[in-house]
Amino acid sequence: MLYRVDLRAWSAGETLQPELVATFPTPIGMLNGSCRVGEDVILIADSFAGLIWRVDVYLDGRVSTPTVWLAHESMEHQPSGAFPQQPGVNGVKFAASTGWLYYTSTAQGLFMRVAVDPESASAIGTPERVASGMMGDDFCLDEESGVAYVTTHRENTIDLVSLTPSENNGERYSVVGNPYDERMTGPSAIAWSRSSTEQGVVAYVTTDGGVMSLKPGNVLKPAKVLRIEFFNQDRNRTDQS
């Protein structure tokens, strides 16, 4: 189900009243990452149905009946493996400057992209691999620098990936979490700061403390929100707080 929350007049401490605006048809699995494509289209990843849904938003706040935007084998999940119920397509983000829709596929260790038609907001052609070898969850795009910062929920890192497939040579580049940093245990959602001066520099990351990657003998750590500053001059250095 999709809910609408009106925050335009909301203040901290006030009660919110979510409004149900859409119910998803079969083959609904588990809704996950989402993003806007243009002004009036939302794309939502379905991690266990192996597809991306499309919802059109109208001026009065109503939305269309959800429809399948794209289904592809790279989006399929894995019901068994090193970690149970590994999701397929997970995070989705749109690069407005180039017209590419990027997405992670956790189970298959893929970071993918597909072109988006600027008029219809439909997918164009077949998805292509950008990078692989990491169990990506969510990510944020730095379109100016041409890179993505990808959280690997089950692997406790944030990886730096070029948005240009030919520039990824197969070697992982973990800017956080290698060596392991216990503060970065179970990183999931990531988003840039809303400050215009911090875009591409400061990001906020949620962690679950190791729920999905806890090993025998490990202790579950508190979930938290981390503030991370990425240094453009030297991408090996990061500051976490």
Predicted confidence (pLDDT) per residue in 197-208, tens digit: 898 899 999 999
> Which residue range(s) make up the domain with 11?
2-240
What pLDDT score does 214 carry?
72
CB 208 within 8 A of CB 156: no
Cα gap 162→169, rounded to integer Å = 10
The closest of 71, 72, 64, 18 to 41, measured between CA atoms, is 64
pLDDT tens by residue, 53-102? 999 999 888 899 999 999 999 999 987 765 557 899 999 999 999 999 99
All residues at 6 or more sequence positions from 240 whose CB lies less than 8 Å from its CB, including other chains:
176, 181, 183, 184, 226, 227, 228
> Which CATH number characterizes residue 136's domain?
2.120.10.30
Q: Which residues of the chain have pLDDT under 50?
A: 233-238
Single pTM value for the model: 0.91
* The pLDDT of residue 237: 41
Q: Average pLDDT, whole number, for the chain? A: 90
- How many structural domains does the chain have? 1
The number of CA neighbours under 13 Å toward the Cβ of 105 is 26
Residue identified by tokens 């993918």 is 112
